[in-house]
Chains A and B, each alone.
Chain A
Amino acid sequence: MTDLRVPNPVATTLQNGPSESTAPAIGQMPETSTPRGISAVRKYLLSRGNSSGSDRLFAGAMLLCALAIFALVALIAVELVTQSQLSWHAFGLPFFYRYNVDPVTHLPLFWDPVNGVFYALPFIYGTLMTSLVALCIAVPLAIGLAVFLTEMCPRWMRAPLSFFTELLAAIPSVVYGLWAIFVLVPLLREHINPILIPIFNAPILTRTLGWTGLFGDNGLFGGVNLGLGILCGGVILAIMILPIIASLTREVMNSVPNSQREAALALGATRWEMIRMAVLRNARIGIVGSVILGLGRALGETMAVAMVIGNSPEIHLSLLSMGHSMASVIANEFSEATSDMHRSALIEVGLALFLVTIVVNAVARILVWAVTRGTPARVQ
């Protein structure tokens, strides 16, 4: 501090003493409080005034940033609504549930741009079904991974495992799609489906649980095994949402205080009982939250699904069947939509996706509310 070769205004002023010429105007200050010994720092601070102007400016700017969110949502909604007016007036609400019957095959016909048939049900079904499959696979895996990471992972493994989990989230969607086409589709077709199909079509299950409709020829694993389809889309989505759910769940579990673990252990809990009693129970709200976020991504995910779902606007219960999702139909057909009606119908699908996402989030929030009702989430 004694080395003053670097020109330091404060130090220089301190050395030279206060000079009248550089003293700031401090009109409001009473005379007695400005003696000769006033320091440069004090002079500087006094010269800054009340700074309320810049503070107001800052607050205004921040408010603008916040309002921009509302404006964006509103703009998107308005655009979707106005652009979809044509198809809305042509089909009305039945757009979302009606279908025509093909005169030749007598099968339901939902979507036929050439003949001007536009009903969106298969896309809604495909989106919900692939997301459901994705959640069924990803949630147990992600929670297991998070439990392992927080509770039982050896120190040397923790960083690499976290890193690779996060890495999964960083891979572009289209790369997942390519990988799915070249690896996942053959894998499902040659190895995994041949195991699952006989299980779901086993005579004993068909006889005893056939009434559920999930087993047998018209069940979840009926029909032709192509590899592509709803199941494949669901699996690729599961891989994509796994890192989101796992890393958020891990954060939530990490935030459970150690005293909770000790409380359970001191009561004679085994490791698994301790995790169930102290960790999962306290973290469940956060886990539901992270699942919601994963679901949000699964619903809106476009490219990877579009590449493997088969892109055929049909509805079959079978997970092996081809399907279509709301996001994938827009991505696939928008650039080729020549008629105004086709274009408008696609935008209406987009509007529906927007609404489905909102509804799913609302339902999930009600669920969270139901789970947490009466029991405070507070952890000390």
Chain B
Amino acid sequence: MGVGIEVKALNAWYGSNHTLQDIELNIPANHATALIGPSGCGKSTFVRCLNRMHETNPIARVTGTVRIGDLDIYHDISPVEIRRRVGMVFQRPNPFPTMSIYDNVCGGMELNGFRNRRELDEIVERSLRNAALWDEVKDDLKKKSGASLSGGQQQRMCIARALAVDPEVLLMDEPASALDPVSTSKIEDLIFQLKSQYTIVIVTHNMQQAARVAEKTGFFLNGRMVEFDSTHKIFTNPSDKRTEDYITGRFG
């Protein structure tokens, strides 16, 4: 089951560029939360702060508190441990090209020294079913390379890979922006099904997508969070003028 995320006074920098300024946010457990905003507004940086991927860049810096469940991820726990609990799906599918589909999906399990063959088989099947990919790949799990799949299949495999370690939170950084409409709708269906079991944070450029999959929506602009509310309220009756301008297409 997922856990909630509590963000307090979060600031992040790339070099001297102050990309996130004083973010305060409560993301509810077992729901999907969408983050929208124009390019470069800091929403990707924000999700990368939630699993401490931001700090893998040598010039990046971050301050503030992020609590996932009851853990303060910047003080109580190492980056490696938090990434085992928080799955991430990236904008472009990034399968391991030298590994089979099977090995791709259990990549995270293998890393953590999990070697029970029978259980691995089960986990791979469950994860691929959860990612709505099982029927398409079940016959050549170990024969085909992860890179031989189509773009949409690769992205669903990456979702399966993130689900295989049974994360508490699933972060998705524009998971469908590199995909065609059919694959996109499959990914959206997937998010819709998964959100009862996982806390999902999804960054998207596509406002219809946010409206379709998320209960809550946050609007980012120039490194600040302008508004965070229920998706319905954001898209029908935003309280901030800038949010209204953005969702009606006046800028961005």
Tell me the A residues contacting B by CB distance below 8 Å.
155, 257, 259-270, 273, 277-278, 281-282, 284, 374-380
Contact = CB atoms under 8 A, between A and B. Distances in A.
Contact of B58 (A155, A262, A375): A155
B207 interface: no
Contact of A281 (B87, B99, B162): B99
B162 A266 contact: yes
Contacts of B165: 267-268
B96 A269 contact: no
Nearest to A273: B111
A155 B99 CA distance: 32
B193 interface: no
A286 to B, nearest CB: 12
Contact of B83 (A267, A282, A378, A379): A267
Given A262-B94, A380-B147, A268 B108 contact: yes
A266 B51 contact: yes
A101 B51 CA distance: 73
A262 B90 contact: yes
A277 B111 contact: yes
Interface of B: 51, 53, 56, 58, 80-81, 83-84, 87-88, 90, 92, 94-99, 107-108, 111-112, 145, 147-148, 158, 161-162, 165
A378 B92 CA distance: 16
Contacts of A379: 97, 147
B89 to A, nearest CB: 8
Given A266-B87, A273-B111, A378 B96 contact: no
Given A262-B53, A263-B158, A375-B145, A268 B96 contact: no
- Of B108, B158, B161, most A-chain CB atoms within 10 Å: B108
Given A263-B90, A268-B165, A378 B56 contact: no
**Chain A contact residues: helix, strand, loop or mixed:** helix
A-B CB proximity, top 7 nearest: A268-B84, A267-B108, A266-B88, A259-B94, A268-B83, A263-B94, A281-B98
Given A268-B112, A269-B111, A376 B148 contact: yes
Contact of A263 (B80, B96, B145): B96
Nearest to B151: A380
A277 B96 contact: yes
Contacts of A257: 94
Given A269-B111, A282-B97, 18 more contacts: A259-B90, A262-B94, A263-B158, A263-B161, A265-B53, A266-B83, A266-B90, A267-B83, A268-B81, A268-B83, A268-B108, A277-B96, A277-B111, A376-B148, A378-B97, A378-B147, A379-B97, A380-B147
Nearest to B59: A155
B87 A376 contact: no
A282 B58 contact: no
Contacts of B84: 267-268
B107 A267 contact: yes
A374 B58 CA distance: 37
A270 B56 CA distance: 12
Contacts of B99: 281, 375
A264 B79 CA distance: 13
Nearest to A155: B58
Contact of B161 (A267, A278, A376): A267
A282 B111 contact: no
A238 B94 CA distance: 37
